[in-house]
Amino acid sequence: MSNDTAATYDPSQYDRPSVTVDVVIFSLIDDRLKVLLVRRKQWPFAGMWAIPGGFVRMEESLEAAAARELAEETGVRDVYMEQLYTFGDPDRDPRTRVITVAYFALVPANAIDPPQAGSDAAETRWFPMRDLPELAFDHAQILSYALERLQYKLEYTVVGFELLPDLFTLPELQHAYELILGEALDKRNFRRKILASGILEETGEMRREGEGRPARLYRYKENAVVEVKARRLFP
C-alpha cells in the first residue's frame, strides 16, 4: 500500500494475500492465433488448463516476474508485453486469497524455443483462441479480456508486427491482422493505413517464396516504435 489512512503500520496485523502474475502469451502458429496454456496436475482444477503464471518474488518487480514467467515457458525475452488488468475476487482461487496481475505478451512464432521447454516438465500446449479447452480459475475471463484488448489495440496502433519476424511483407502483416480480427481487410486501405503510420520502412529486399510475384520486405523503425510506445494507454 502506501498509507493505512491513519498512517499506522503493522504488517502482522493483516493477513496477506498471495500475489501472482499470469501471462497470456499469444503467437501466430499454423495460421491461427494461439495462446500458450499449462496443464494443471493438482487440486484445484487438476487436469484443466491454465494461463502460465507464478508467484511474484519479494525482490522482483511485477514486470520482471512476468518476463521471467514468459522466459521460463517460451525461452523468449524482449518481446512486446503490457500489463492487462489485476484480478482479485476473493474466491477466484479455492486455496487461499490470490490476487493476480495479468499481462499479455506477443511472441513471434520463430522466436519460440523448439520443444516448448519449460524449466520444469510441466505439460504446455498452444491452443487456438477459437478452440480453447476448459480453463481453470477465472482464466477464461482473463483470456477473453486479453483478446478484446489485443483486437482493440490492433485497430489504433500497429502492434501486429510484434507477432512477426524482424522482416516481413505487407501481405504477411495483413494476414496477421485478419487472423486476429477475424475478418477480411481491404488490401489497398490496409497498406495505406499502415504505411501512413510511418513506423515501417522498406529493406530494399524481396521475399521470393511461393508462386507469384515477390513481395517487398519491411522492418519497423526503432525510433518510430518509441513514438508508438509513448502513446500507449498503459505504461
Task: Pick from 30, 42, 110, 114 the residue near a second copy by CB under 8 A.
Answer: 42
Q: Quick check: is 201 catalytic? A: no
Closest to a second copy by CB, 61 or 182:
61
According to the binding rule CB under 8 A, does residue 67 interact with a second copy? no
Q: Which is nearer to DNA, 136 or 173 (CB)?
A: 173
Polymer length of the chain: 235
Q: Is 196 in the site for a second copy (CB under 8 A)?
A: no
CB 139, min distance to a second copy, A: 7
Least separation in angstroms between residue 190's CB and DNA is 9
In this structure, are strands 98-106 and 18-29 parallel, antiparallel, or unpaired? parallel
Given the rule CB under 8 A, which of 24-32, 46-54, 165-173, 180-188 is the region that contacts a second copy?
46-54
Could you say whether residue 189 binds DNA (CB under 7 A)?
yes
User: From CA 92, how far away is CA 109, in angstroms rounded?
Assistant: 32
Residue 208 contacts DNA per CB under 7 A: yes
| Shortest CB 67 distance to a second copy, Å | 13
Q: How far is the CB of 16 from a second copy (least distance, A)?
A: 4
Would you say 136 and 40 are in contact if contact means Cβ atoms under 8 Å apart? yes
Closest CA to 121 of 38, 42, 25, 23: 38
C-beta closer to DNA: residue 141 or 169: 169
Q: Which of 60, 123, 134, 205 is catalytic?
A: 123
Residues near a second copy (CB under 8 A) are: 1-9, 11, 14-22, 38, 40-42, 46, 50-62, 69, 72-73, 83, 85-86, 88-90, 93, 95-101, 118-122, 136-137, 139, 145, 149, 152, 233-235
Catalytic residue annotation = 123
